[in-house]
Amino acid sequence: MISISGLGNSKNSKFCLAIILSGITMLTACSHAEPDSTTEVAIAEESVDSSNLEESTSNESSDSTVYFGVLAIRSATLVHERYAPLLEYLSEATGRPFELVTLNQDSQFTQVAEEKLDFITSNPLSAVQIQRLHNTNFLTTLERPNTGSQFSGLIITGNDSGIQTLSDLKGKRVACVDFETAAAGCLFQIYHLLQNDIDPFQDFAEFAENPSQDNIVLAVLNQTIDAGFIRTGQLELMVKKNLIENIEGIKILEPKNDDFFFPHTTDLYPEWPIASLPNTEPALSEAVEAALLNISDDHPALETAQVSSFLPPENYDPIHNMIEALKLKSWDAQ
């Protein structure tokens, strides 16, 4: 049995305001289609507001509700559609009722801090930040069809831009999704450039945020900006959605020479983990971990969640290293 805590009016409206204010004058269209593929679910960086969880009356009762938080990509409805079957499976496997709780970039931290959740899944940057602050325990890493348990970032420019190398970005106009929260849509690339002795905030003529990766790609093609940062799979998704005819007009700067499914500029990083909180019953945590690792490959909950399997946790040290190097939230956590 599962239920869902929907998204309500959050007191913290700065996130929504930031999205409204962050539109770049290069484009006026900032709307997004609802995700309809594994790639689109992975690509989306935006989050929405969550309503407050009611206090769990007991984490020790064998029939008490288990609260499972999910960082929302688009809406509470979409999160429910994707994760409800998985929580039904976990409920059957553990004999406990599960409640799905939709989270945003801010509420995921407060809900964990206030011990209102038992489990949480979020993008790897937020997940590691939460772990550093609140000592969560990673149980699994999700594996996506085609791309597996890793993803990466791209730095793109137009074929006729004259930009050939990372160094050529100096003095250019560049856009990314968000300087603080967008991993593959911004921070992977910033970290990569700094490792190559390029400081985007000092060396670019202009460095702006735009919450729409679609618009970043279109701005590159329209030459409104010189380069942009996007996630692996974004270009292919836009072709699938008929937003662009093909990717022939796009150049990927200094792509890695490996066998990853999508071309990419930055190193590969681990995908979303599922974590238990310190207040979660150990036996329940072990039961959920076992259920996720042992779910059958053809279970319909996997297809609905657009996941191929759950694996033992990947090594998240690269995310830790990036957080510390860029002094992102939690960088100085003890």
Contacts of 232 (CB under 8 A, 6+ apart): 147, 151, 152, 153, 154, 184, 260, 261, 262, 263, 264
Q: Identify the pLDDT of residue 188.
A: 99
Low-confidence ranges of the chain (pLDDT < 70): 1-62, 334
Q: Identify the pLDDT of residue 309.
A: 98
Write out pLDDT tens, residues 244-259. Answer: 999 999 999 999 999 9
Residue 91 dihedral angles phi and psi, to the nearest 5°: -65, -45
Encode burial over 42-74: b for 16+ CB neighbours within 10 A, e otherwise: bbbbbbbbbeebeebeebeeeebbbbbbbbbbb
Q: Which two tokens stand for residue 156?
A: 């793109």
Q: Identify the pLDDT of residue 73.
A: 74
The alpha carbon of 3 is separated from its chain's Cα centroid by a whole number of angstroms, namely 24
Q: Identify the pLDDT of residue 77.
A: 87
Contacts of 304 (CB under 8 A, 6+ apart): 81, 82, 84, 85, 86
d(CA 148, CA 151): 8
Write out pLDDT tens, residues 98-115. Answer: 999 999 999 999 999 999
Return the closest-CA partner of residue 244 out of 224, 220, 208.
220
Q: Which two tokens stand for residue 122?
A: 């979020």
Fold that domain 2-148+271-326 belongs to in CATH:
D-Maltodextrin-Binding Protein; domain 2 (3.40.190)
**DSSP string spanning 16-51?**
HHHHHHT--TT-S----PPP-SHHHHHH-------P
Q: Identify the pLDDT of residue 74.
A: 72
Q: Are 172 and 266 in contact (CB under 8 A)?
A: no
Q: Which two tokens stand for residue 213?
A: 């990766």
Identical fold for domains 2-148+271-326 and 151-252, yes or no, is: yes
**Superfamily of domain 151-252 in the CATH hierarchy:** Periplasmic binding protein-like II (3.40.190.10)
Q: Where are the domains of the chain?
A: 2-148+271-326, 151-252
Q: Tokens 């997940």, residue? A: 127
